[in-house]
Copies of this chain bind each other. A is one copy, B any other.
Amino acid sequence: MKKITINSVASYAGVSKKTVSRVLNNEPNVSDVTREKVLKAFKELDYTPNPIARGLARNRSFIIACLYDNPSKSYITRLQSGALAACHQHGFNLLIHPCELRGQALLDNIEQLLQTSRLDGLVLTPPFSDHGELVAFLRQKKVPFARVASVKLDDDSISVRSNDEQGAFEITELLIKLGHKDIAFIKGHPDHSATEQRFNGYRRALAQHGIEYQERLVEEGNFSYHSGADSAETILHLNPRPTAVFASNDYMAAAVLKAATQMNLKVPDDIAIAGFDNAPIARHIWPGLTTIAQPVEEMTRLAVEHLIEQINQGDNGDEEQQKEPLQITLEAKLICRESTAAPKS
């Protein structure tokens, strides 16, 4: 089995390389007759262009990388799956780049990534979406990028997010309407902008319903199960104990649930628990967690979709066509399960 190159096709169809290339790229100025001949040759020879050669000639790699550092495996795989969907649709491939670094080491690492793989673009996911230095660095290097779940919408880059603040508001409001007044809150990782957003939603709901904000009810977490367990330890021993806990994600909520169960507290009767993200664990435990579902795949898919668009347009002439800011906010959805109910007394 010998390799089929553009030359084979050209001689088979009786035209020049360049004409084959024209057909390949849907360029204008090819007569219908010629086009048909070439397309026929494609079929009969079962030709597939070599993306590497094409990449060399066009100075493109058709590769996008997805940068992440997130404790939630389900979140990561959902990100990946959305990114892949968009990539495949446009003939791109996806490189995954988990990265725990921060500061200068992060920039060095990314620089190396850029150098060694000649990426066409980068998808930033939390907590990198709002990493100021990194964003500035990429801008300076003129590397196209898109941000998923970022908050700072004050510029012209591509950004797709869901409404964390609103989600947190709704879940807090739900608890309030059930009759809870002492609602503990566990914050997420300070690097993630969602952390602030969710906290803001919590406070807005309290304020709007005339409930006083109590600092004693707020714990610092970092989105990991472990941090949730630590926070739970503190919260569940408060006196008086809050009647509800809203954790900034489901892993931390699951940790609260486990701790409460170990203390023989009934959930939701003795203490109501709510999470965020609708991770698989939210429905794998008993009682299932009331939480907020975000369209993670869709967010990433859209981000990559627009990123590829930008890459492709930057490609053909016109230098800096300066699209208008492209910022999309999708809705998050409240999901009620068994972990929330009215307080017992």
- A residues near B (Cβ < 8 Å) are 48, 50-53, 55-56, 61, 63, 73-74, 76-77, 80-81, 84, 91, 93-96, 98, 115-118, 225, 251, 254-255, 257-258, 261-262, 280-281, 283-286
Contacts and interface: CB of A to CB of B under 8 A. Distances in A.
A85 to B, nearest CB: 10
A254 B73 contact: no
A77 B48 CA distance: 32
A250 B262 CA distance: 20
A95 B98 contact: no
Contacts of A286: 257-258, 261-262
Given A280-B281, A281-B284, A285-B285, 5 more contacts: A48-B115, A50-B118, A52-B61, A84-B96, A254-B285
Copies per complex of this chain: 2
Contact of A76 (B51, B53, B56, B73): B73
Contact of A284 (B61, B98, B115, B225): B225
Nearest to A255: B284
A172 B118 CA distance: 51
Contact of A73 (B74, B118, B258): B74
A121 to B, nearest CB: 15
A258 to B, nearest CB: 4
Contacts of A74: 73
Nearest to A46: B115
Nearest to A111: B48
Contacts of A76: 73, 77
A51 B63 CA distance: 13
B52 A56 contact: yes
Contacts of A254: 284-285
Contacts of A117: 51, 93
Pick the most buried of A52, A55, A116: most chain B CB atoms within 10 A of its CB: A52
Contacts of A118: 50-52
Contacts of A81: 98
A52 B84 CA distance: 21
Contacts of A283: 225
A131 B247 CA distance: 43
A240 to B, nearest CB: 24
A280 B228 CA distance: 14
Contact of A55 (B52, B80, B91, B280): B52
A94 B91 contact: no
A280 B80 CA distance: 20
A48 B116 contact: yes
A116 B258 contact: no
19 contacts: A48-B115, A50-B56, A50-B118, A51-B116, A52-B55, A52-B56, A52-B61, A63-B93, A73-B77, A80-B96, A81-B98, A93-B117, A96-B96, A225-B284, A257-B286, A261-B286, A281-B284, A284-B285, A285-B285
